[in-house]
Amino acid sequence: MIEAIIFDFDGVLVESVDIKTKAFQRLFESEGEEVVAKVAEYHLMHGGVSRFDKFRHFYSEFLRRPLTDEIFQELCSSFSNLVKEEVVKAPYVKGAKEFLESNALTYSCFVCTATPHDEIEEILRSRRMNDYFKGVYGAPRSKIDIVSSILSLSDIVAEKTVYVGDAWTDYAAAQANRVKFVARINHNEEIFKDVTCPKINDLTELSDVILLWKNPLKK
């Protein structure tokens, strides 16, 4: 019996991955097309990694120059300003709103995201989504640590918990904490091609996946 569901946010509940891709590209457009292309590719291949770590990677690996505290804070502030309003307005992943409305009282639902903690709380309030969740957790904490805390603080059994994500960091967090994992497939087919787990195109399919875990003889 599944009792708890942990959701990543971008690309799982809300179609906001492209919003953040464009924000990264805009912040680095003065560095030239080659850098912009590398930035976008890295972002898409490392979904679930915080913007903080991505900025550090871009400077150390792509720009090959120091990232000062002043520049780092400017990047973080500019990125937030570029994406926050757009994410608030972004459409739900198909089936996400309906699933939450129907199941928020059936399961203990949580958000585990690489978006900064204060920012994701503000986004959820603005979208009027916060009442769906027992807890919301964001960066700078790692997803492995967040899932561990959810399990321990909420007294939830790992075997009765599902993590729904679209990034390798989501899968790694589920594996490290021995919870079930469902991959939402969007731009990430290559990431999960060798992973054995339920794969869904959108959240209209999530209830059926959970039903199979509840009733394995129906497979």
CA distance 197 to 180: 8
The Cα 155–Cα 130 span in angstroms is 21
Residues 150 and 51 in one domain: no
Shared domain for 11 and 27, answered yes or no, is: no
Percent of the chain clearing pLDDT 90 (strictly above): 88
Domain end among 89, 114, 138: 89
pLDDT of residue 97: 98
- Do residue 140 and residue 104 come from a single domain? yes
Which residues neighbour 121 within 8 Å (Cβ) at sequence distance 6 or greater? 130, 136, 138
Q: Are residues 70 and 150 in the same domain?
A: no
Domain tally, the chain: 2
Residue 147 falls in which region: left (phi positive, over 0), alpha (psi -120 to 50) or beta: alpha
* Residue 172 scores a pLDDT above 90: yes
Q: Which residues touch 157 (CB under 8 Å, ≥6 apart)?
A: 3, 151
Q: Are residues 159 and 176 in the same domain?
A: yes
**Same domain as 50, residue 10:** no
Report pLDDT for 215: 63
Closest CA to 4 of 175, 163, 168: 163
* Tens-digit pLDDT profile for residues 137-168: 999 999 999 999 999 987 889 999 999 999 99
Q: Look up residue 151 and give its two tokens.
A: 């399990």
- What residues make up the domain containing 49? 17-89
DSSP 32-66: -HHHHHHHHHHHHHTTTS-HHHHHHHIIIIII-S-
Q: For residue range 64-97, what is the model confidence (pLDDT) as tens digits? A: 999 999 999 999 999 999 999 999 999 999 999 9
CB 143 within 8 A of CB 48: yes
